[in-house]
Amino acid sequence: MILFKSFFLNLQFFTTIPVRKPFDVGQHEMKWMVRTFPLLGMCLGMILSGGFVVLDTFTHMSPLALSFFIWVMPIILTGGLHLDGYMDASDGFFSYRDKEKRLEIMKDPRVGAFGVLSLVVLLSSRFLFIYESVLYTHSELIGMVLLCIPFFSRLVMGASLVTIPAAQKSGMGYGFSKHMTRHEVLWMVTALLAGGMVLFYLDWFYLYVGFTLVTLVAFWWVYSKSIKWFGGMTGDTVGGSVEGVEWILWMTIWLLQLSDMV
């Protein structure tokens, strides 16, 4: 079935989860891969949330150790794929050159100083948000956050490939986007509504609504700045958007916790 085939292709392309079976990849498969990005995010979220619940319930791990697990596992599960795009996009942006030069810098396999500095700021601040959230917030809420954050970041990844024009006719981003139509947005909206229906009767439904609003604002920012700074979407900007959205959502939980709203 194409749904399961595309899901396993996503595991092969975007995670380190071993899927040994070879699959053919064509236009039809690429469309369905984008359509199942939210399912990929939900799968990663279940791994993170399940791991956290097991460690929190059946071990005596400290909040610091639990925070480290939450912080490092997404890097392990994705092989740092999206962080690589984030660094390349940072190098391009902080060069303060024109769009063409920025794209040229992003193609360079070497990582520049701005990419490294941006990575340090991203990961260190995210660890702060995670640690203080784990330390002061109810464990059930953290489990729900871990389930939701990869889901929302993969929604943005799919929406970026569908709606943002490609900056250049090469690379992985263009390889996906050239097969997309605006009708794919309906799949993103359907996934968003389906997630809301699942959580509607749970105590944390307000969290889902809040994350939805924050994600929509974040996507608007990604959309406008991708065009302004780079002339459109690339694989690096899409990967960077995944990391950026997850950073923003963790900051949201941290700010809510500081305000005694969670």
Under the banding of pLDDT at 50, 70 and 90, the label for residue 71 is very high
Residue-wise pLDDT for 159-178, tens only, equals 999 999 999 888 788 888 88
Output the pLDDT for position 25.
Answer: 82
Output the pLDDT for position 253.
Answer: 96
24, amino acid identity: D
Output the pLDDT for position 174.
Answer: 83
Would you say the C-alpha torsion 38, 44, 48, 54 has a positive or negative sign? Answer: positive
Reading the block at residue 130, the tokens are 């995670």
Tell me which of 18-22, 121-125, 160-164 is least confident.
18-22
Tell me the domain boundaries of the chain: 2-15+23-258
Percentage of the chain exceeding pLDDT 90: 66
Reply yes or no on whether the pLDDT at 228 is more than 90.
yes
Average pLDDT, rounded, for the chain: 91
What mean pLDDT do residues 93-114 have? 89
pTM of the model: 0.95
Reply yes or no on whether the pLDDT at 204 is more than 80.
no
Under the banding of pLDDT at 50, 70 and 90, the label for residue 184 is confident
Output the pLDDT for position 68.
Answer: 98
